[in-house]
Each structure stands twice: as structure tokens, then as C-alpha cells.
Amino acid sequence: MRLNLYSLQLFVAVVEEGTIAAAAEREHIATSALSKRISELERQVGTPLLIRRARGVEPTEAGRNLARGARQLLHNAEGLADTIRDQASGAAGHVRLAANLSSITQFLPNDLARFARQHPRVQIDLEERVSSVVTRLVLDNAADIGIFTSALDLQGLTVFPYRRDRMVLVVPAAHPLAGHRALAYADTLAYDQVGMHRGSAGNEMLMRAATAANLPLRMRFQVTSYDAMVAMVKAGFGVGVMPGEALALYAGDGLATIALTDGWAQRELKICVRAGEGLPNASRLLLAHLQAAALG
């Protein structure tokens, strides 16, 4: 049996209006054409759906059951049509976003919150990874959009600017360096360090800086988050280097912040997508939103 949605819509109109003439006027169809549709519907289901009276019609028990089910079918069909329209326009969909810790702790929360308000039917799956893994996920089509700080190989990627951040030194308030307003990172290498885990952009950055200064890196603890770094520094286990805006989330009494004069302390966060491939509509919307956020 193939029930036509339009015929069901007309039947529901007849039940709700109580006369074929009123239903025909409501649905902008000729009365004779509507009557023919109802007769065909009754033939399909094999039982009368309406009791015809002098002043109108009323549904049989089968008609009431059909009207109830038809309303649900029509509602579902309209919802499906809305979903398809939204997906075609990019207003609904699914975006896989991979981002490094710095972007997640500083900029992405507010940017994604604004995007979610504008596009509530777009689902974003956010995965935190180190920068080198972020770019690999995008290249391997395991992520649609990536946000990273540094990567050795950008072949196959299209890259856009996102935000800038500045790395600062955080030390215990009673530390010998606490009175300085600005320092070169080499001046900190005589002291124990609390750094990010091996493989992270932050860890590699400090290793390169220590090598350039021809001094050993006294890495006492390696952590996986900035709040853990702040806790270890506050407890006196060493000094740490982290993005200034991220520090503002965790800083409190017992800490001092010192500017770093090294050129590498000013960093650029970047957005990447696969080169030469069209993004799904929802991903294009998010990319445009992040690019607009980058412009302020």
C-alpha cells in the first residue's frame, strides 16, 4: 500500500473542517478533486473513512485512527524537510574540530559559544590534541578544521591566521626572579622548570630555546594542562611558561608573572583545512566564523 502524503494532508483537513467544501477551500483545491482523493484513499485502505451526512462528514473509527497517524506522519515529514533545508544551507550539520590546548583555554570557548547561538543545530565535536597531531588529523580527514600553533609539515593544508598569544613566565611570589618585569628565557634556565608534556608545542619550544642558549633545561615536572602547571609552580616546584591569557584563568595569590623578551614568546595560532577540498556547509560556516573572529 502506498499512501500519498498529500492525500493524507487533505484527509486531515476534511476531518478538522467537518466538510469537504471547507477543506477544499482551506487546501486550495477543487471540491471534486478532493472528493476523488478521499475516495481513492478509502479504496487503498479497504474501508470507509468518513460518514457522509447532509450537513457534512465525520470520521469513522478507522478514519479517526488514520487521521491520528497521518498527523504524526505529516509532522515527521515536515521535520525531515526542515532538516534537509537546514543542512543544505549549512544551518545544521556536524563539524569535527581539532585544536591545541592554547586555543581551547584562551579563545575557542567564546568563539564557539557565539557560533552555537547563531547556529544551534550545528553539532561540533571538539578534540584537544598537540599541534602536530592537529594537522595530521586534518590531513587524514579525521578532522574538518584544525587550530594549531606550530607544525613542521603543512603540505596539503590551507592555512589561515586565527589569533596571537604571548607566552609569559609564571613563578612563585617568593621566587628570586619574582621582582623582574621582563626577562629573556635564558635567564630562567638556572632554575627548575615545570613544563608541558613531551611532544607538545610548548615543550618543544622550551627545548629549542635552551639549546639555542647552550644551557641545560632543568625540567622537574611535565604536565598536561595549564592548571596543573600553575598548581606545581605555586607549590614551589619550579617556574613555568604559558600563554598570558590562559594564566589569567588560573592565577591568584602566591604567583608572579614576568614578560618574556624572546621573539618566540609572541606566537601565532592558525586555522587549517585540507587543501583543494570543499568543506561541508556546516564546516564552512564555522571556518568563516573563526576567520571573522580573527579579525576582531
Domain ranges of the chain: 5-89, 92-163+268-294, 166-265
Mention every residue, 6+ apart, whose C-beta is less than 8 A from residue 140: none
CATH number of 166-265: 3.40.190.10
The DSSP letter of residue 273 is E
Query: Across the chain, which distance is largest between two alpha carbons, in Å?
Result: 103
pTM above 0.95, yes or no: no
**Helix or strand run (H / E) with residue 209:** helix 201-213
What value does the CA radius of gyration of the chain take, rounded to a whole number of Å? Answer: 32
In this predicted structure, what is the pLDDT of residue 1? 62
Chain segment 184-238, per-residue pLDDT in tens:
999 999 999 999 988 888 888 899 999 999 999 999 999 999 999 999 999 999 9
Residues of the chain with pLDDT under 70: 1, 82-83, 86-91, 151-152, 251, 296
Fold of 5-89: Arc Repressor Mutant, subunit A (1.10.10)
Amino acid, res. 99: A
In this predicted structure, what is the pLDDT of residue 186? 96
Chain segment 51-69, per-residue pLDDT in tens:
999 899 999 999 999 999 9
In this predicted structure, what is the pLDDT of residue 93? 85
Measured in residues, the chain has a length of 296
Burial 25-64 (b: 16+ CB within 10 A, else e): eebeeeeeebbebbeebbeeeeeebbeeeeeebebeeebe
Burial 168-177 (b: 16+ CB within 10 A, else e): bbbbbeebeb
92-163+268-294 with 166-265: one CATH topology? yes
Domain 92-163+268-294 is classified in which CATH homologous superfamily?
Answer: Periplasmic binding protein-like II (3.40.190.10)
Say if strands 145-148 and 266-274 run parallel, antiparallel, or are unpaired.
Answer: antiparallel
